[in-house]
Amino acid sequence: MIKIGIYGYGNLARGVEAAIKKNDDMELVAVFSRRDPSTVKIATKGVDVVSANDVTKYADKIDVLVLCGGSRTDLPVQTPELAKYFNVVDSFDTHAHVSEHFANVDRAALESKHIGVISTGWDPGMFSLNRAIMEAVLPDGQDYTFWGKGVSQGHSDAIRRIAGVKDARQYTVPVEAALEAVRAGKNPELTTRQKHTRLCYVVADEKDYARIEKEIKTMPDYFSDYDTTVNFISQEELDRDHKGLPHGGFVIRTGETSEGVKHVIEYNLKLDSNPQFTGSVLIAYARAAYRANKRGEAGARTVFDFAPKDISPVSYDELLKHTL
Amino acid sequence: MIKIGIYGYGNLARGVEAAIKKNDDMELVAVFSRRDPSTVKIATKGVDVVSANDVTKYADKIDVLVLCGGSRTDLPVQTPELAKYFNVVDSFDTHAHVSEHFANVDRAALESKHIGVISTGWDPGMFSLNRAIMEAVLPDGQDYTFWGKGVSQGHSDAIRRIAGVKDARQYTVPVEAALEAVRAGKNPELTTRQKHTRLCYVVADEKDYARIEKEIKTMPDYFSDYDTTVNFISQEELDRDHKGLPHGGFVIRTGETSEGVKHVIEYNLKLDSNPQFTGSVLIAYARAAYRANKRGEAGARTVFDFAPKDISPVSYDELLKHTL
């Protein structure tokens, strides 16, 4: 059994916890939280809930520590620090700082002889892996990534910070016509506005509707570059219809193997729960981290470093017989 | 530059030859044929065309030999034999004999300290790789593979062997309703007939139409288990509309990460040319074979053994910056 620890206990951590139950070779040993452990109720019985301050006491009891903090302030510090004591896996997703984060984790993990898998999940993660493989098998081509339909938590939060907004949920929606143009191999040049629309559900007092709608639609970075639709609904409707965290998206590569001979490769995801699927991917890469470390490897890793057999719960012989 | 040899010179070999031109780190050194070399016209200038009998003379001149023979009689003999002298890549696709073929290639390649990549292409190959990764990230689920719309050369040949048939082309077509049931997560139990239909274009004399149609539709293994449509057309129509070798297909996995929380992962291909895309995949795995051998590895390998970075033409640093 691979002994897993979870560091941080929010939505993603609950996804990781659920994923462990679906993998027979995994066992949850402890959950670490910065909150008072007595206030943290987890879903698995008989598992230690421990103060994050005491995490190093578990260095010999855990094979892989799955880090469930945020990319902005948590992971840049936590992943290199915890790689001094554990094999770690994170879902760092700030593209602009990936090389720096990789270098920091690599340094710590090489010194402590651990494996640090960074930036896994679905994007970055499965989408990155597919972009890399698609490019390798169809080098003369172009890839496109679309997200949605799904809930963007960052955009939902941005709406909730507007005065008068009681609650809100924002969906990112890919533009069907853009998807079709890409699939048709037209290599379109697509602006931000042409790729995705933004669909918002907002709870507020009726007197504030016009102002809130205007504030949303003109918000720089988040909404002003998009065609945005704002629907005002009741709290009951929002709670009933929009409490899930579905997401998904598309990676499509089109290209030629010779003049006029075209190919289309598409990978897409439709996820009922973004954090649960992300958690499930993290657990597959926790397996890879464990195995690589057992082989004597150390350092930072990404999805680009692992073969299918490294993440698979199935024996190589079974893969040959039933999956090839 | 990775020096490539091509063994056998049919449709697949021409696809490999085209793919080499799309990969800047590859160079075609020689094509080996069992035919008289003076009768074999290849598409690349300045490249040796050599009798297959003389292949071992190139042992020091070629980094990876790509084998383009058939799975039934060629590859079971050729891949183990040529792995004594070369790193090799093949597209062996007889599922029932994969384990045996792997063992034979492994034995020869370990002894000669070469890498032998077997069963690559798109299915087996990209589809196998995707089935394995999908299962790893969504272990509680079920996967389905559909093929088409595309030309099945084996089925086209079977029709051409019927008395009175002058020419024929057969398309395998996935049943849209079955695809939709799978995507909806219904985990349908699908019979052969429910997954694919077979669409045939046949050139023959009108007096033979009824008999030929009956012979096709009742042909065991090939057609009798399918809903088959037979269209009689002229040779001109067939030459004009059906001379390409398009293919493609779908791998779809659906599953749950917890009770009632469902996810759908789909990978699909639409290929203008089956042999050109297959050749392009073989070349990506030729790169992986070359690199693995340079690292001092030996033995049989499949798509399950290689990480994205092993097949990628792009540097790791570039992958981190632009693909992650």
Half-sphere exposure of A324 (CA within 13 A, CB side): 29
User: Could you tell me how many CB contacts below 8 A there are between chain A and chain B?
Assistant: 213
Question: Is A40 an 8 Å CB contact of chain B?
Answer: no
Cα–Cα dist A236/A234, whole Å: 5
Cβ-based contacts of A309 with chain B (< 8 Å): 132, 304-305
CB-CB: which of B136, B313, B319 is closest to A313? B136
Amino acid at A276: Q
- 127-166 of A, contacting B, C-beta below 8 A: 128-133, 135-140
pLDDT of residue A188: 94
Closest residue in chain B to residue A143, using alpha carbons only: B323
Per-residue confidence band for B239, with pLDDT thresholds at 50, 70 and 90: very high
Band (B248; pLDDT cuts 50, 70, 90): very high
pTM above threshold 0.95: yes
Residue B124 sits at the chain A interface (C-beta within 8 Å):
yes
**Torsions phi, psi for B199 (to 5 deg):** -120, 120
Is A304 in Cβ contact with B309 (below 8 Å)?
A: yes
Q: What is the pLDDT of residue B113?
A: 98
> What is the three-class DSSP state of A274?
helix
What pLDDT, on a 0 to 100 scale, did the predictor assign at position B244? 95
Which pLDDT score is estimated for A231? Answer: 98
Taking the CA of residue A113 as centre, how many other CA atoms within 13 Å lie in the half-sphere pointing to its CB? 4
Running along chain A, 324 residues long, what does each successive block of 10 average in pLDDT? 98 98 98 96 96 98 97 96 98 95 98 98 98 98 97 94 97 97 94 95 98 97 96 98 97 97 98 98 98 98 98 98 96
The answer for B 238-257 residues in CB contact with A (under 8 A) is 257
| Distance, C-alpha B249 to centroid of its chain | 12
B193-213 burial code (b ≥16 CB/10 A, e <16):
eebbbbbbbbbbeeebeeebb
**pLDDT given for residue B166 in this prediction:** 98
**Dihedrals φ, ψ of B271, to 5°?**
-115, 125
What is the average per-residue pLDDT within B150-164? Answer: 95
3-state DSSP helix/strand/coil percent for chain A, to nearest 5? Answer: 40, 25, 30
Strand order in the sheet with B150-151: B150-151, B165-174, B196-204, B227-232
Residue A65 exposure: Cα atoms within 13 Å on the Cβ side: 33
User: Which residues on B lie below 8 Å from A287 (Cβ)?
Assistant: 136
Q: pLDDT tens digits for B301-314?
A: 999 999 999 999 99
- How much is the pLDDT for A169? 97
At B249 the pLDDT is 98
Whole-number pLDDT of residue B308: 98
Structure confidence at residue B160 as a pLDDT band (50, 70, 90): very high
What is the reported pLDDT for A6?
98
Q: Residue B311 is inside which H or E element, if any?
A: helix B308-311
The one-letter amino acid code at A177 reads A
Closest to A61 (Cα-Cα) out of A32, A96, A101:
A32
Per the listing, tokens 């309703």 go with B177
pLDDT confidence tier of residue B123, bands split at 50, 70 and 90: very high
Is B101 touching A (CB cutoff 8 A)?
no
User: Cβ separation of B263 and A281 shorter than 8 Å?
Assistant: no
* Number of helical H runs and strand E runs in chain A: 12, 14
Can the peptide bond before residue B220 be classed as cis, meaning omega within 30 degrees of 0? Answer: no
pLDDT at A177: 96
- Contact status, residue A278 vs residue A119, Cβ threshold 8 Å: no
How far is CA B116 from its chain centroid? 16
* Amino acid present at A151: V
Residue type, A135: E
* pLDDT given for residue B71 in this prediction: 93
Instruction: Please tell me the distance from the alpha carbon of residue A277 to that of residue B324, in angstroms, as a whole number.
Output: 18
Residue B88 distance to chain A (closest CA, Å): 17
pLDDT single digits (tens) B5-63: 999 999 999 999 999 999 999 999 999 999 999 999 999 999 999 999 999 999 999 99
Q: Is B112 exposed, middle or buried (0-12, 13-18, 19+ CB in 10 A)?
A: middle
Q: pLDDT over 70 for what percent of chain B?
A: 100
Q: Mean pLDDT across the stretch B240-255?
A: 97
Which helix (H) or strand (E) segment holds residue B144: the answer is strand B141-147
